[in-house]
Amino acid sequence: MPYFGSEEVVKDLKRALSNPNIQADRLRYRNYITRVIRSMTQGLDVSSLFMDMVKASATVDIVQKKLVYLYMVTYAGHKPDLALLAINTLRKDCADPNPMVRGLALRNMCNLRMPGITEYIQQPILNGLRDKASYVRRVAVLGCAKMHSLQPNTEIDPSMVNELYALLRDQDPVVMVNCLRALEEILRDEGGVVINKPIAHHLLNRLKDLDSWAQSEVLTFLLRYRPRSDDELFDILSLLDGFLHSAHAPVMAATLRLFLHLAAAHPAVQADALTRARGPLLATCGSASRELCFAGLCHVQQVLRSQPALYGSHYKRFFCGYSEPGYIKFRKMEILVELVNDENVVLVLEELKSYCTDVSTELAQAAIAAIGRIGRTYTEKCLDILTGLLALKQEHITSAVIQTFRDLVWFCPQSTGPVCKAVEGCDETLQDNEGKQALLWLLGVHGERISSAPYVLEGFIDTLKVELSSLVKMELLSAAVKLFLSRPAEMQDMLGRLFHYCIEEEADMCVRDRAVLYYRLLQSGPDKTRSVLLGPKSDPSMTVLAGRPEEPVSLWASSFNTLGSLCGTEACLENVSVELSTQQLHRAEEEELGFDPAEQSLSAAEPEAPSCDAEAEPNLTTGALISHKAFERLWLELQVVHQQVLEIPRPTDPPEMLHAAFQLVKVQTLAFSRPEAVPWKAYMYSRSGGTVILAELLQRAPEEPENEGTLLVSVKQQPENKQAIRCFISVLKSVLQTLSSHTSQH
């Protein structure tokens, strides 16, 4: 909010700017212009000074011009009529002999957000693309993208696209990278800039001339190119080899991702690239920047999925530092669990044990959980540590240990005996709900081996009236009934008291329903109850396989060096269908395009759908999963390309059966209406080659007699492929007819 007396300040500034004596003093005049900018940034409305500021732009002082242009850009949207008066001044500066003035004027002219500005800036931008000064060309290239953003729904100018493609050969590397950025923005609806063989090789040869940020961006664009032969592939990999050891983490990560993408058919090459990038990744994990360190740790986790032993000898690099934030410590502990082997297990466990008494409750519990995961392989060593932690009598430590014991008994039945001996007397220090539930589960499943189990349960039953958690109450019911089946004499009286309270006095309906269920189950006899509640016991001689199987690099390579690895997701699926269609479009265009800018711009602006062999019917495939959010976004963006009425009644099978039936024919279902819903709908998707097919099944209201007993299929597709639609409809009819005949037989 403008401060008190702002009107007087504006009047004083206006008088000063119109004073000829002040205008004659260059330094004093600039100081008053600076005061105008300062007042503007403080929230003061100085739009009434617009004409005085426009007059101040007629100067050879670069600093003064920058200040005046900043003022014009800020108030152009508020004063569009007056801003048009400044266009002539800017256009005149675009022809100034000084390239700094030309570039500055062109950049600010493109930043004016006002109606009708595009007709004034188009010609200066085209002139700037041919300017001799590289700074002006840099500004003009980005101005093309800005001009397109001002009128996104208009037809793309082919001449401008041609100029941008031609400037990819510019001697200035910044101009070249700016061209890629501008073309990507302008041709976004057509799939972005096309990277064919001549462009790809040109970009590869210019990589060494770029700065680190431009290198990482060019390497990302090169993901769109697929070499035609193994010889070309290895030539490209040879050019990229040196960038795997780049001192800049973004360049190294982008290069490694490109390596993994290009060498998808050569697992040995991928493994060698991961090995060569081990040093830079470790250096990133030890970076002083916490954000960069976290990103490096996330990418190391991805690599460990395919090569678990690659970082085994460097496990000490993942020990936690005392001053590191919690999110880095958590990630390091996860990696340490992956790196444990026979040689380092003792040192790793000692390190994790020291974290168990950390002042941070979350960190201490995470360290205990990490020891438990290692205990699935090295059971005896971990049991000794966990049992020793119980002697500390710390509430959060005891809770975490009991939860770890529960998981350990589940995965490693041979640890049941030591665990049952260790949990004696642990109920006194348990206060949190998770720990109580874990202890009750152990008492219920293995209570016959814990001598004090009935007495511990009796303590829980006596304090049931003050227990707030319904989950603890339901776990107590399950534990009491299970222990009654193995020790009925000790549990009969207290089980009766528990049932009486839960059925007659308990207000929580879930607890009451659980108690009634168990009460009626016991009325059917102990054998029937035992068969329902107690499943087959695990064989104590069984052990868990150490580690996890190695995964192919292709499962995570697409999300490497993206936000997917940082967010903990396996892959970013929001744009999966768009990426697939873009790749298909690029493959179709690369076969036709050379490096001639004219050909490239025309192909980019008017892409043709990939041709399909009429004799060979395309097959459906599942491919990567599409999230509900991505499906909804695509469904709203695309138009219906095919509708057909199927003379088949709506399937009345359960949703699980429908989902399984469609999965057998490579059709993924996302949502079904309830069986009794009117109108009834179902949404599904599939793929055929590079095209994504989205479909809606609809049975409309029964008051429309002409639609009774029929289904309306609406299909959307990206990119369009009529052969794939025919294949999809044929498969859909077959499944629905099979389901319909199955229903009529039963």
- Cut 0.95: pTM above it: no
Taking the CA of residue 377 as centre, how many other CA atoms within 13 Å lie in the half-sphere pointing to its CB?
A: 17
pLDDT digits (tens, 9 = 90+) for 86-98: 787 788 888 888 8
Tell me if the bond preceding 679 is cis, omega within 30° of 0. yes
Output the CA–CA distances (angstroms, integers) from residue 235 to 185, 205, 231, 244, 249, in the order listed.
30, 11, 6, 15, 23
> What per-residue confidence (pLDDT) applies to 586?
39
Check if the beta carbon of residue 561 is closer than 8 Å to that of residue 299: yes
Helix (H, G, I), strand (E, B) or coil at 719: coil
- Phi, psi (degrees; rounded to nearest 5) at 530: -65, -40
**Which H/E stretch holds residue 672?**
strand 668-672
CB 420 within 8 A of CB 442: yes
Amino acid (1-letter code) at residue 406: R
Q: Is 533 exposed, middle or buried, given 0-12, 13-18 or 19+ CB atoms closer than 10 A? A: middle
pLDDT at 727: 86
The CA distances from residue 67 to 238, 330, 595, in Å, are 49, 49, 42
DSSP string, 166-233: HGGG-SSHHHHHHHHHHHHHHTGGGTS----HHHHHHHHHHGGGS-HHHHHHHHHHGGG---SSHHHH
Q: What is the structure's pLDDT at 606?
A: 31
DSSP letter, residue 621: B
Q: What is the pLDDT of residue 614?
A: 37
DSSP per position, 428-473: GG--SHHHHHHHHHHHHHHGGG-TTHHHHHHHHHHTGGG---HHHH
| Terminal Cα-to-Cα distance of the chain (whole angstroms) | 75
Residue 31's CB is within 10 A of a number of other CB atoms, namely 12
| Rounded distance between C-alpha atoms, residue 703 and residue 230, angstroms | 63
Give the pLDDT score at 235. 93
Please give the Cα distance from 568 to 298 (Å, whole number). Answer: 8
| pLDDT for the residue 600 | 35
Alpha-helical runs (H) found in 241-325: 249-262, 267-276, 278-285, 290-306
- The answer to whether 510 and 472 are in contact (CB under 8 A) is no
pLDDT for residue 472:
92
Domain residue extents for the chain: 6-216, 340-431, 432-523, 570-592+609-746
Joined together, the tokens standing for residue 38 give 């300062």
CB 709 within 8 A of CB 647: yes
Angle between helices 470-486 and 433-446 (to 10 degrees): 10
Look at residues 124, 218, 209, 202 and name the one whose alpha carbon lies nearest to residue 172: 209
- How many Å apart are CA 741 and CA 746, to the nearest integer? 9
Helix, strand, coil: what percent of the chain each, to 5?
65, 5, 30
Q: What is the C-alpha separation between 506 and 509, in angstroms, rounded?
A: 8
Structure tokens at 179: 């061209």
pLDDT of 138 reads 93
Q: Cα dist. 39→10, 50, 224, 646 in Å?
A: 9, 14, 49, 69
Contact 164, 141 (CB under 8 A): yes
The two three-digit tokens of residue 682, written as one number: 């179902």
What are the start-end ranges of the H helices in 277-360? 278-285, 290-306, 326-339, 345-355
Report the pLDDT value the prediction gives residue 592, as an integer from 0 to 100.
35
- CA 309 vs CA 259, 274, 282, 317, 343: distances in Å: 20, 12, 14, 14, 12
pLDDT recorded at residue 404: 93
* Structure tokens given for 235: 């030539």
Which residues in the chain show pLDDT less than 50?
1-2, 4, 539-546, 569-617, 705, 707
Nearest CA-CA partner of 652 in 678, 676, 623: 676
Q: What CATH superfamily is the domain 570-592+609-746?
A: TATA-Binding Protein (3.30.310.10)
The radius of gyration computed from the CA coordinates of the chain, to the nearest angstrom, equals 35
Question: Yes or no: is domain 6-216 CATH 1.25.10.10?
Answer: yes
